[in-house]
Structure 1
Amino acid sequence: MPLGLIVRAYPGGLRISVRDELDDDVLLDALSHVLRGTPLASRELRHRRATAETLLNVRLRVRGEGRVLVNTGSGFYDHMLQQLAFHGGMDLRLEGVGDLETGDHHTVEDMMRTFGEALDQALGDRRGLTRYGEARVPMDEALAHAVVDLSGRATANISISPDPGMAAHAFESLAQTARITLHVTASGTNDHHVAEAAFKAVGRALAQAMTRDGSLVRSTKGSL
């Protein structure tokens, strides 16, 4: 079979066949730009991140029903991202592999970066969105507070104590690629509870920020 994209037209639609991995990347990138103009609720983003350390694939619908599967082999942080997406009302499927034999740093970082890239694509120009969101979430003795601004600028101010190891960096990676401003404070005595409360709070804050609010971009500049 020939390489490249093969497009066949039939009544009511198109069939696109991809013959090469690089062509697949080109097609997904092109579709992501087209989807920026579609309503947020109808967008399902598909995105892939491939590096020398990880290979991750994500499917994301930001206004979903909480159907979530995260499987990168990183265990605890797979569970944390599941909590964020579920409490954010998203549909998320993120799967892949990383060089876990060297530790989970690369896998967790790229998992959150991949999720952030897909989220950024789904948000598009942020038109018609509330933009700001805030949530407080307790988990037993732990309490987390998250504030989100879909600003188009990557800023993270994170304080998690005690941090189970990668929670703060995970949020920094998310803020960078999603192009959001993210403030998180969380404290307690059990590091699992502290991290889980923080991820849930970020999910709920994102859900609030992504609610509909007219048709304008919430900035006096007219763009974010």
Structure 2
Amino acid sequence: MRHAEITRNTSETKITCQLTIDGSGQHQIQTKIGFLDHMLELFTRHGRFDLTLVCDGDIEVDGHHTTEDVAIVIARAFSECLGDRRGILRYGSMLLPMDEALILAALDISGRGMACLELDIPAAQIGSFDTELVEEFFVAFARELGVAIHLQQLAGKNSHHIVEGCFKGFGRALAQAVAINPIAPEEIPSTKGTIL
């Protein structure tokens, strides 16, 4: 079972996280930012990852530190679960419709972290969540795991639907990428012989 437990404490956030990659989508998430909790619940459910996460962050300032640090911790847990990346499929993609919104999510666990987002989110806030933090989440996740993340909005007008499509699509694409290749379960999926 690929499982990790991570604790990260800074002057801005205190986070504990338990992640099982090969799960069923069970989740217990408390970040004190309702919309972020909802997006992470969708991510885990659609990726079928089991995630328990508690964050005590400085949300009296704003949601930036909590959002960024939660992404760092979850990505770090994935990295620990994947070890040397042996046997993983490495690539994943999903074209996800969410009502009128249509999101393309594609990724490569390459060791090179980058996030390329082409999104047009109309609202500046959804609930208490600043929508500019969507990009901050994926940038932090990409950098920590060493994954190239592409999220492209092909259609959509409703801010909630657009962001929800991103997290659902990302969860499903990541589930593909971290799955074990049944044909080559012991191979590092790179001609270099290493991904790290």
Q: TM-score, normalised by structure 2?
A: 0.90
Instruction: Answer yes or no: is the 8 Å Cα contact 1:160–1:167 preserved in 2.
Output: no
Alignment of 1:115-154 (within 5 A): 115-154=74-113
1:185 and 2:152 aligned:
yes
Deviation at residue 136 of structure 1 after TM alignment: 1.1
Q: In percent, how many aligned pairs have the same letter? A: 39
Does the residue aligned with 1:137 lie in a helix, a strand or coil? strand
Aligned to 1:35: none
Aligned to 1:205: 173
Q: Distance in 1 between matches of 2:7 and 2:120?
A: 32
Q: Distance in 1 between matches of 2:8 and 2:117?
A: 25
Aligned to 2:127: none
How many residue pairs align between the two structures?
183
Does the residue aligned with 2:107 lie in a helix, a strand or coil? strand
Deviation at residue 148 of structure 1 after TM alignment: 1.0
Instruction: Answer yes or no: is the 8 Å Cα contact 1:72–1:107 preserved in 2.
Output: yes
Q: Distance in 1 between matches of 2:39 and 2:118?
A: 17
Does the residue aligned with 1:102 lie in a helix, a strand or coil? coil
Does the residue aligned with 2:75 lie in a helix, a strand or coil? helix
Q: Distance in 2 between matches of 1:69 and 1:136?
A: 27
**Which aligned segments of 4 or more residues in structure 1 are displaced greater than 3 angstroms?**
none
Q: Residue deviations 1:173-194, cap 9 Å, x none?
A: 1111111111111241111110
In structure 1, list runs of 5 or more residues that go unmatched: 1-41
Instruction: Answer yes or no: is the 8 Å Cα contact 2:55–2:66 preserved in 1.
Output: no
Does the residue aligned with 2:37 lie in a helix, a strand or coil? helix
Aligned to 1:36: none
In structure 2, list runs of 5 or more residues that go unmatched: 123-130
Does the residue aligned with 1:94 lie in a helix, a strand or coil? strand
RMSD: 1.1
Q: Distance in 2 between matches of 1:115 and 1:208?
A: 17
Alignment of 1:36-185 (within 5 A): 42-162=1-121, 164-185=131-152
Q: Residue deviations 1:131-187, cap 9 Å, x none?
A: 100001111111111111111111111122116331111111111111111111124
Larger Rg: 1
Q: TM-score, normalised by structure 1?
A: 0.79
Q: Residue deviations 1:191-224, cap 9 Å, x none?
A: 1110000000000001111121112111111110
Deviation at residue 68 of structure 1 after TM alignment: 1.1
Does the residue aligned with 2:174 lie in a helix, a strand or coil? helix
Q: Residue deviations 1:81-125, cap 9 Å, x none?
A: 111111111000011210010011111111111111111111111
